Amino acid sequence: MPILYLRGLTGKIRSAEADVHLGLSLAFIAGAMNAGGFLAVHQYTSHMTGIVSSMADGLALGDFAIALAGLSAMVCFMVGAACSAMMINWGRSHQLQSEYALPLLFEALLMLCFGALNDNLYQHMKLFFAVMLLCFLMGLQNAIITKISKAVIRTTHVTGIVTDIGIELGKLFYWNRNIDREDEAYVSANRGKMLLLSKLLAMFFLGGVGGAYGFKAIGFFATVPLALFLLLLAIMPVIDDLRLYFKSGSA
């Protein structure tokens, strides 16, 4: 049963339930990397709104170093999303079961590299590289679940999640005075959507708490358990493709 579950979680043949479970798992990881990464590099790396605003502030104040750093972070996020889309489309064109698992596997390997930054680079280079790598990882991951769910689920874009929860709450408490339920003007909340968004928000928050504690306790090495968890999520479709490859090669 665990093998079948993992195969369905990141495999090519998907269900709506698998999309939700994967989205919740990735939201936890995104929260851990974002909040924990802040303790490591003193910057939130999933918050492109803030990064673009810092670029504007830097230009207005004549601080071109801040503007350039913001531009670099935004480009890395964008390149990460593009890389994810390219890997998924490549896997799809080759009819791989791991079309969605491949970018998750890549993300896990990069997270292991991030964990190795602690002793292998000088402090100033480590800080810059760590920020760029985290932004790349955030873009990579957000694109994965966006592609899988057809933009229904996002794991790093909490602003959108909170906005959508607010919209559904507005519908929930709207007073349909003298309006029949069958009328097109009747306003009703999508409780299923609101529950899903609330779960995503909660998982991002819980991941943030866990990631912050982890980075505070053991620093960059705190990414290793997260990377291993991602490997667990991605491994079964990759194994399936490897089995098929070697089977066809020996035939």
DSSP state of 173: T
Share of the chain above pLDDT 90, in %: 33
Q: What is residue 84's predicted lDDT score, i.e. its pLDDT?
A: 93
| pLDDT over 70 percentage in the chain | 94
CA distances from residue 233 to 73, 78, 109, 188, 238 in whole angstroms, order as listed = 27, 24, 13, 36, 10
Residue labelled with tokens 């990414």: 223
Q: Which residue reads 């402090």 in tokens?
A: 123
Model confidence pLDDT, tens digit, residues 49-93: 788 888 898 889 888 888 888 898 899 999 999 999 999 999 999
Select from 134, 120, 122 the least CA-distant residue to 43.
Answer: 134
pLDDT range class, residue 232, cuts 50, 70, 90: very high
Residues in the chain: 251
pLDDT digits (tens, 9 = 90+) for 106-149: 999 988 887 776 555 445 556 777 788 888 988 998 888 888 87
Locate 152 and state its tokens: 């229904």
pLDDT of 215 higher than 90: no
Reported as a single tens digit per residue, the pLDDT across 18-55 is 889 998 999 999 899 888 877 777 777 777 878 888 88
pTM: 0.86
Q: Which helix (H) or strand (E) covers residue 139, if one does?
A: helix 123-149
